[in-house]
Structure 1
Amino acid sequence: MADPSTAPPLTRASVEAAHKLIAPFIHKTPVLTSSTLNRIASTPRDPAELEGTEWAGRTPAKPVLRFWFKCENYQKIGAFKARGAFHAIERLKQEPGWAEAGGREKGVVTHSSGNHAQALSLAALTSSLPCHIIMPSNSSPAKIAATRTYGAHISFSGPTAPEREALTASVISQTGARLVPPYDHPDIILGAGTAALELQSQLPSSTQLDAVITPCGGGGLLSGTALACSSSPFPPPSSTTPQKKKIHVFGAEPSHLHLTDDCARGLALGRRIPAVPASDTIADGLRTPVGEIPWSIIHDRKLVRGVYTASEAEIKRALRLVYERMKVVVEPSAVVGLAVALFNEEFRAMVEREGGEEGWDLGVVFSGGN
């Protein structure tokens, strides 16, 4: 992939430039609403539900929430990952000397549990490039089958990040393929941020987002979203246009019971947790640790206000609500942000406190539907 040292600065302006570059290759996915889910989220939970949790004995929060769902499950390959993959490939094709050095014949390589694998395979196929994919052995069979349909060469590794990376290095030494990481690269982050950029432009003119929440695995989507929301265009001081509100950005992870809440724990500790143990969480796309570059945006630049967690049962409840009430097919990883908004009392109490009677307009990124 393009040399990180030549990547554009990690700013909203660079997200806008990325969107222009990839617009011919991606879908502008729809934004949906649900009055039923708004009502459920704005109703206090039954105190009995809090028994046995860390919030037992507390008065349930009563936030007012209006959801705006950015449906990346309708994106090409069924996930937001297409945005970063196409941006990486298009940037790579612009790299001076890449084609002359045989880049087109050597192709690209990555390691991924499924969505980035499919995304890079499609982006490579679109540009007629060879594509090598390292997938952990516990990847979803459906995602493995989908990746094969795009003509990628698949190899299987163990489930942990070090095992994935070791096999990736071996394939690179054998083929000379260029690595396109799943999340820890500026081009991937900037491409991912285009989803939140679109979301801001798709709301009614009378509506301004108070916050956006996204799932967090490697952190590419979360950090890209933070960049897209970091400096929303403000009207000049003399303008009669109402001043835009600051958009708060939050991340969502499966809970600590599955040790996949490394970003939330890292923020509490003040340092990145570089590895997480293998996990069987239903949110299979969020099993990876947060990357160094996403961490620099999330933590060091403080562009993400907080990361909250949801339990396996809460993720499943949110998934079922989306299926039954919205008739939308999403994957478990995609609804972790919604699960936080529906069931995490710490998050809900914050919205109640800060939103008051008016409440919050909350953007929720449905990251995929595979």
Structure 2
Amino acid sequence: MTIVRQPTRAGVRDAAAKMTAILPPTPLLIAEIRGVDVAFKAESLQPIGAFKIRGAWHRLTTLDEAARKKGVVAFSSGNHAQGVAWAARELGMPAVVVMPDDAPVVKRESTLALGAEVVGCNRLTDSREKIAAHLAHARGAVLVPSFDDAWVIEGQGSAGIEAEDQFKELGFDGIEHVVTPCGGGGLAAGLALALPEARITVVEPEGWDDMRRSLEAGWIEEVPADAPPTACDSLQTRRVSQLTFDVLSRRSATGVAVSEVEVRAAQRWAAAKLRLVVEPGGAVAIAALLAGKVEPAENMLVLVSGGNVDPSAYAAVLGRAD
């Protein structure tokens, strides 16, 4: 019987120490929503434009020299791909990423520019997980999932440790409520481990809110085959992992879903109020507050998880009034 390593708060703290050694903290920005000052963690300003650099770095730095020579294989629509590619480049390792053919061009090009090999697949008919597993087996490489991995979860949670320190530096009380985007749940689970006293709310696009439904049901619910299209490509996970579900379930986390119109409004608000370029998936937590689905409160931490936008799509969003 294979024993699956479980993510821990100690592991999150180890990951945070690793991040402190290589990168400065991402900014904590304060902005008012309905008369309340709220703190926004700008993970969109990471070197790869997303928080995924954290989990990738924590995971890849655990590999020994023999494993590093054979490299890693990942599967991703773009942000995890860039995180793995960046970490692999810094560590001198080969990296292969299985990426849907319809992934944003900017994310594909960035992954290639970081030195990774990209293998395309059809999002609807292919299993990128199976393709990646076959490639890893054939090459003797290490498979690095985007969220179903204890080290990756711990790495993402380092954002919470960092934010907690920033709250203290600003003279705030401790973080009481975390509102975070959620795809497979790696970031949300990591934050739940990092901040054990905080309330956790996950936010997903409408029709892709499988973590919300899973937490309400008490077991994992998959995204239905007829899920509606969404601009939140980074949150299009059809099934969350047992690892992330278990962490969030134990913490009694809750979830809400936001519409495409609400996401676009959040992107515009982030540009105007935070001066941040935010991709659709990175804006869903902001959308939940603006739409009144989560009430703003003191000592609240909101994650702005990514900023890798398609330039033309983003320009269209800024030019809309819906």
Answer yes or no: same fold by TM over 0.5: yes
Query: Offset at 1:112?
Result: 0.3
Q: Which runs of 5+ in 2 are unaligned?
A: 309-322
Q: Which residue of 2 aligns with 1:254?
A: 205
Q: Which residue of 2 aligns with 1:329?
A: 277
Residue 161 (structure 2) pairs with residue 197 (structure 1): yes
Q: Aligned equivalents of 1:6 and 1:282: distance in 2?
A: 33
Query: 8 Å contact 2:178–2:300 — kept in the other structure?
Result: yes
Residue 286 (structure 2) pairs with residue 338 (structure 1): yes
Cα distance change of structure 1 residues 27 and 162 upon mapping to structure 2, 3 Å threshold: farther
Q: What secondary structure is seen at the aligned counterpart in 2 of 1:91? A: coil
Q: Which residue of 2 aligns with 1:84?
A: 55
Query: Offset at 1:266?
Result: 1.3
Task: Select 2:230's aligned residue among 281, 289, 305.
Answer: 281
Q: Which residue of 2 aligns with 1:185?
A: 149
Q: Aligned equivalents of 1:294 and 1:156: distance in 2?
A: 27
Q: Aligned equivalents of 1:224 and 1:158: distance in 2?
A: 29
Q: What secondary structure is seen at the aligned counterpart in 2 of 1:10? A: coil
Query: Offset at 1:220?
Result: 0.1
Q: Aligned equivalents of 1:296 and 1:6: distance in 2?
A: 13
Q: Aligned equivalents of 2:3 and 2:152: distance in 1?
A: 14
Which residue type is aligned with residue 11 of structure 2?
A: S
Residue 20 (structure 2) pairs with residue 20 (structure 1): no
Q: Aligned equivalents of 1:89 and 1:23: distance in 2?
A: 16
Cα distance change of structure 1 residues 74 and 318 upon mapping to structure 2, 3 Å threshold: same
Residue 191 (structure 2) pairs with residue 220 (structure 1): no
Query: 8 Å contact 2:42–2:303 — kept in the other structure?
Result: yes
Q: Which runs of 5+ in 1 are unaligned?
A: 43-63, 94-98, 231-245, 352-358
Q: Aligned equivalents of 1:130 and 1:336: distance in 2?
A: 33
Task: Select 1:361's aligned residue among 282, 295, 299.
Answer: 299
Query: 8 Å contact 1:103–1:177 — kept in the other structure?
Result: yes
Alignment of 1:1-370 (within 5 A): 5=3, 7=5, 10-34=7-31, 38=32, 41-42=33-34, 65-93=36-64, 99=65, 102-160=66-124, 163-203=127-167, 204-230=170-196, 246-255=197-206, 259-274=207-222, 276-277=224-225, 280-288=229-237, 289-299=239-249, 301=250, 303-345=251-293, 347-348=294-295, 359-370=297-308
Q: Aligned equivalents of 1:218 and 1:161: distance in 2?
A: 20
Q: Aligned equivalents of 2:252 and 2:110: distance in 1?
A: 33
Cα distance change of structure 1 residues 276 and 134 upon mapping to structure 2, 3 Å threshold: farther
Which residue type is aligned with residue 154 of structure 2?
A: L
Cα distance change of structure 1 residues 308 and 79 upon mapping to structure 2, 3 Å threshold: same
Query: 8 Å contact 1:308–1:344 — kept in the other structure?
Result: no
Query: 8 Å contact 1:69–1:366 — kept in the other structure?
Result: yes
Deviation string 1:280-305 (CA, Å, 9 cap, x unpaired) is: 31111100132121011011x1x143
TM-score by length of 2: 0.88
Q: What secondary structure is seen at the aligned counterpart in 2 of 1:182? A: coil
Query: Offset at 1:122?
Result: 0.8
Query: Offset at 1:207?
Result: 3.0
Q: What secondary structure is seen at the aligned counterpart in 1 of 2:62? A: helix
Structure 1 runs of 4+ with >3 Å offset: 4-7, 274-279
Query: Offset at 1:368?
Result: 1.1
Query: Offset at 1:273?
Result: 1.9
Which residue type is aligned with residue 208 of structure 1?
A: G
Query: Offset at 1:26?
Result: 3.0
Q: Aligned equivalents of 1:28 and 1:18: distance in 2?
A: 13
Q: Aligned equivalents of 1:309 and 1:273: distance in 2?
A: 15
Cα distance change of structure 1 residues 13 and 174 upon mapping to structure 2, 3 Å threshold: closer
Q: Percent identity?
A: 34
Q: Aligned equivalents of 1:160 and 1:187: distance in 2?
A: 28
**Structure (1 or 2) with the larger CA radius of gyration:** 1
TM-score by length of 1: 0.77
Name the Cα RMSD after superposition.
2.0
Query: 8 Å contact 2:234–2:281 — kept in the other structure?
Result: yes
Deviation string 1:158-183 (CA, Å, 9 cap, x unpaired) is: 21596111211231233121101111
Q: What secondary structure is seen at the aligned counterpart in 2 of 1:92? A: coil
